[in-house]
């Protein structure tokens, strides 16, 4: 068990409270001799104790994590994992559970090791039945309520908890049962049940996502979205923490799901504010730059087209000077609204600054982007903006080329925009290829005026339809 897991489990153990009166004691009896084990099991059951039998230390540790017993009675010499190693691992989880060693021999080395591990008592073999019963009663009166305390602590904790060995879910707490919409996992294939009722939003798809999560070292402090069963609330965000307890070739895990939905929603709210232009409701320049970097990565990774439109309202200063800044703000909001209405869901429209806007168009080549820009130019020019009346805008369009940075792509679109301004405004200009600019620069020549896109006729309707761009 790693240091962090042991510390977390130890903290929980220190805050345990006694079992309530009247609740049956649970005892884990660990003995590799089947006859001796059965004799102890029957003796304790007749005394009203709920007994969990185990044939060796490895099996016992798994049962401990599943049942959280109040009392552990274990032999010392056993295959796979001896009694002292079992006690050591149990003590890493809790100082409160009552542990008793049984053995046909006792040497000083074993005695010293047992004392260091905090063993509560010894019983010689053959085990006297009445002594075993008296021991269980003393344990109950002493309030060693490991099972009760663990379950009550976990059941009253709003977080979701489960324990698993990677193949089975051994235990889930009450909030997790409520989240699943069931009363108990008893008699069920809990691993399959959880996988069928809850779907992680991303990262751990498939029917065995709990096992994948338990074995993934990177899963600690991992943010995960879970969709509850049908009929439940919407998708919720959880901070997932995994504590692991390796036992030979088996990895036991305690997985907690801490509901951070409200924190995530608040974070998303402020993040949205940071990336949104407050006047138009469009994304701002930071949002454009963030998304542009992602789309460039996608375009180069999957060999997809990507284009950018930049447009600027012509003579916008005259609107502010003539009608005032409130009318200017109205124009900007209207411009944002009419342009956004004609875009695909995957497209991004942002306010770049002042009266300048950008449209980021994934999976769109230069010709399709220019056709869309021409359509937007017509929409802008025919719209009534109120007191200012009719207005126009100039458009520059650039397609991303492999290896081109976001700044270079924006610079080419911006250059095309101002070429449209210089050529008379109210027009669309495509940007030259980066290779053309490099050749002209090397030759010491200024770029020639860019030719406008010809007016689109009715035959171009398919190209102007945003739902068909990039197909």
Digit-coded pLDDT (tens) for 179-200: 888 888 877 788 887 777 776 6
Residue 433 has pLDDT above 90, yes or no: no
Q: How far apart are CA 401 and CA 411, in angstroms?
A: 13
pLDDT in tens, 66-97: 888 888 999 988 888 888 889 888 888 877 78
Domains in the chain (CATH in brackets) are 3-149 (3.40.50.2300), 157-263 (3.30.450.20), 276-468 (3.30.70.270)
Asked which of 223-237, 245-259, 447-461 is least confident by mean pLDDT, the reply is 447-461
- 436 — pLDDT class (breaks 50, 70, 90): low
The C-alpha R_g of the chain, in whole angstroms, comes to 35
Q: What is the mean pLDDT of residues 455-463?
A: 38
pLDDT at 427: 95
Active-site residue among 31, 355, 363, 374? 355
pLDDT at 408: 94
3 state DSSP class of 216: coil
Q: What is the mean pLDDT of residues 238-256?
A: 75
pLDDT at 5: 42
pLDDT at 218: 63
pLDDT at 55: 92
Q: Cβ distance 412 to 431 under 8 Å? A: yes
pLDDT at 117: 77
Residue 440 has pLDDT above 60, yes or no: no
Asked which of 68-82, 365-379, 394-408 is least confident by mean pLDDT, the reply is 68-82
Tell the burial category of 418 from Cβ atoms under 10 Å away from its Cβ (0-12, 13-18, 19+): middle
In order of 42, 52, 110, the CA distances from 103 in angstroms are 19, 19, 10
Residue 446 has pLDDT above 80, yes or no: no
Q: How far apart are CA 76 and CA 93, in angstroms?
A: 19
Residue predicted with more confidence, 440 or 151: 151
Q: Cβ distance 36 to 125 under 8 Å? A: yes
Residue 458 has pLDDT above 70, yes or no: no
Backbone angles phi, psi at 137, to 5 degrees: -70, -40
Q: How far apart are CA 193 and CA 234, in angstroms?
A: 19
Give the distance from CA 103 to its chain's centroid.
49
Residue 250 has pLDDT above 90, yes or no: no
Q: Is the pTM of this model over 0.85?
A: no
Confirm whether 355 is a catalytic residue.
Answer: yes
Residues 6 or more apart whose Cβ sits within 8 Å of residue 140 = 19, 25, 70
Using CA of residue 230, residue 232, residue 236, residue 241, what is the dihedral sign? negative
Q: What is the mean pLDDT of residues 128-156?
A: 66
Mean model confidence pLDDT for the chain:
79
């Amino acid at each position: 068990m790693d240091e962090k897991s042991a510390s977390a489990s130890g903290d929980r153990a220190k805050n345990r409270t006694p079992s309530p009166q009247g609740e049956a004691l649970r005892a884990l009896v660990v003995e590799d001799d089947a006859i001796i084990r059965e004799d102890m099991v029957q003796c304790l059951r007749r005394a009203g104790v709920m007994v969990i039998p185990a044939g060796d230390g490895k099996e016992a540790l798994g049962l401990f994590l599943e049942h959280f017993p109040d009392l552990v009675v274990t032999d010392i010499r056993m295959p796979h994992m001896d009694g002292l190693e079992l006690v050591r691992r149990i003590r890493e989880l809790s100082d409160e559970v009552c542990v008793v060693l049984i053995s046909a021999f006792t040497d000083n080395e074993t005695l010293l090791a047992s004392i260091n591990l905090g063993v509560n008592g010894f019983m010689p073999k053959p085990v006297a039945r009445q002594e075993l019963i008296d021991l269980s009663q003393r344990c109950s009166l002493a309030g060693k309520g490991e099972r009760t305390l663990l379950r009550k602590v976990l059941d009253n904790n709003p977080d979701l908890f489960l324990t698993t060995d990677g193949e089975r879910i051994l235990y889930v707490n009450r909030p997790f049962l409520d989240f699943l919409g069931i009363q108990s996992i008893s008699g069920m294939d809990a691993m399959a049940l959880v996988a069928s009722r809850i779907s992680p939003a991303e990262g751990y798809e498939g029917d065995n996502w709990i096992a994948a999560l338990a074995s993934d070292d990177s899963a600690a402090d991992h943010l995960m979205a879970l969709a509850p069963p049908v009929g439940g609330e919407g998708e919720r965000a959880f901070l997932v923490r995994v504590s692991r307890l390796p036992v030979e070739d088996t990895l036991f895990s305690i997985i907690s799901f801490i509901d951070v939905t409200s924190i995530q929603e608040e974070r998303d709210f402020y993040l949205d504010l940071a990336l949104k232009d407050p006047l138009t409701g469009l994304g701002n320049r930071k949002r454009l730059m963030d998304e542009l970097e992602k789309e460039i990565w996608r375009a180069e990774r999957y060999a997809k087209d990507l284009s950018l439109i930049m447009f600027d309202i012509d003579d916008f200063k005259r609107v502010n000077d003539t009608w005032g800044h409130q009318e200017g703000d109205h124009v900007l909001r209207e411009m944002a609204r009419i342009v956004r209405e004609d875009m695909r869901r995957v497209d991004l429209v942002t306010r770049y600054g002042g009266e300048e806007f950008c449209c980021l168009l994934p999976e769109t080549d230069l010709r399709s982007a220019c056709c869309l820009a021409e359509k937007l130019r017509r929409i802008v020019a025919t719209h009534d903006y109120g007191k200012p009346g009719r207005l126009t805008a100039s458009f520059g369009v650039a397609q991303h080329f492999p290896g081109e940075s976001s700044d270079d792509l924006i610079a080419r679109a911006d250059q095309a925009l101002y070429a449209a301004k210089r050529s008379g405004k109210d027009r669309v200009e495509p940007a030259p290829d980066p290779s053309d600019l490099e050749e002209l620069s090397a030759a010491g020549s200024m770029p020639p005026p860019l030719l406008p896109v010809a007016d689109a006729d009715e035959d171009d309707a398919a190209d102007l339809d945003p739902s068909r761009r990039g197909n």
